[in-house]
Amino acid sequence: MTKGVYLGNNGSIEIARGAAGTPWAGDLVASDVNVPRRRFSVLGAEGFFITGDRIDISILTTTPPGPNLELVANWAFPDWSGFVAVDDAGGMRLYSSFADAINGLEADALELITPSATQQIIIGTSNINQYRFVSKVQSYQFTTNRNTIDLSGIGDEFQQMFATGLISGQGTIDCFWEYERQLCEDDCSGQIELPQYFAELVIRLQQGSDFAGRFNIFTDPNRSVWWDCPLCIVTSVAMNFEPSAPIHTRIEFVTSGQIRMHIGRSEGFLLIEQSGLLLQEDDHAIELQDD
């Protein structure tokens, strides 16, 4: 006897930001830092980073540890790790949490200092394997059958990947478009990704447009069913505009590597004796993968 049919109401998408790509390296000079506005910019870093990225900033040296990084106030170490918000002009503000970086408020940004001399630094993404739900998702679909992958709308680079067997699947995500968090939203944790992230991701050539995807088919406190796609690459983002209708965005992506279906609990956490969670340095719970 079957239990019945499952509806898509319990489906969802979680993504983890990719950390691949070439880091930016160059000079940090005094004029790059605007201390009153808690903002800095460096020449040539445009397009490397997206608001919400976790980044590492360190002194470029051949004999580590190098001198202390002179950028973040009250920080006497040769490197710093945290989250970044990037404005339209390419300026960056640093934050200690993902939620603060997504909101991007000047008052929440870390205080900066002016470097006493030119420093050679390196900045790279270090996005941890932290999955966050994608908001405003209307529907999604993907296939693991290479014979049904449509190659007509993807570029030469992806067609070459398909020819060499690197593409294992293809999919689409349809969302109501959203580009900013509102302070009055019920979910104030900040642990969500907005659909606009994909539009920024697809044009990030220097760092790559990859993400890890977890496509939940059914979720339940005791058992869940989901597809795990460790490497997804955004190939295109389209938007649909109609008068008096919500703006829709359609994200197309390909997958590379093994895609696995899991049945069980998607994740667990390390507990401590006081019934709390054992946290990482960024205040996220340490996850345990259930195979």
Residue 281 backbone dihedrals phi, psi, to 5 degrees: -65, -25
d(CA 173, CA 252): 7
Which class in CATH covers the domain with range 8-17+131-268?
mainly beta
Answer whether 83's CB lies under 8 Å from 128's CB. Answer: no
Distance, CA of 139 to CA of 64 (rounded, Å):
49
Residues 244, 227: Cα–Cα separation, whole Å: 35
Distance CA 167, CA 232 (A): 9
The pLDDT of residue 192 is above 50: yes
Backbone φ and ψ of 64, nearest 5°? -65, 155
Residue 220 near residue 143, CB atoms below 8 Å: no
pLDDT digits (tens, 9 = 90+) for 108-167: 999 999 999 999 999 988 766 678 888 888 889 888 877 777 766 666 666 677 677 777
Amino acid at 11: G
The rounded mean pLDDT for the chain is: 78
Phi, psi of 40, rounded to the nearest 5 degrees? -145, 160
Query: Who contacts 83 (Cβ-Cβ below 8 Å, separation ≥6)?
Result: 52, 53, 54, 55, 94, 95, 96, 97, 98, 100, 101
106 pLDDT higher than 90: yes
Helix (H) or strand (E) holding 163: helix 156-163
Could you tell me if 171 and 253 are in contact, meaning their C-beta atoms sit under 8 angstroms apart?
Answer: yes
Say what the pLDDT of residue 183 is: 42
Residue 185 has pLDDT above 80, yes or no: no
| Inter-CA distances, 173 with 5, 161, 236, 240, 250, Å | 23, 21, 11, 13, 6
Name the residue ranges covered by the structural domains of the chain. 8-17+131-268, 24-125
Angle at 117 (CA atoms; ends 116, 119), nearest 5 degrees: 120
- The contacts of residue 153 (CB under 8 Å, 6+ apart) are 235, 236, 252
Instruction: Please tell me what DSSP assigns to residue 72.
Output: B
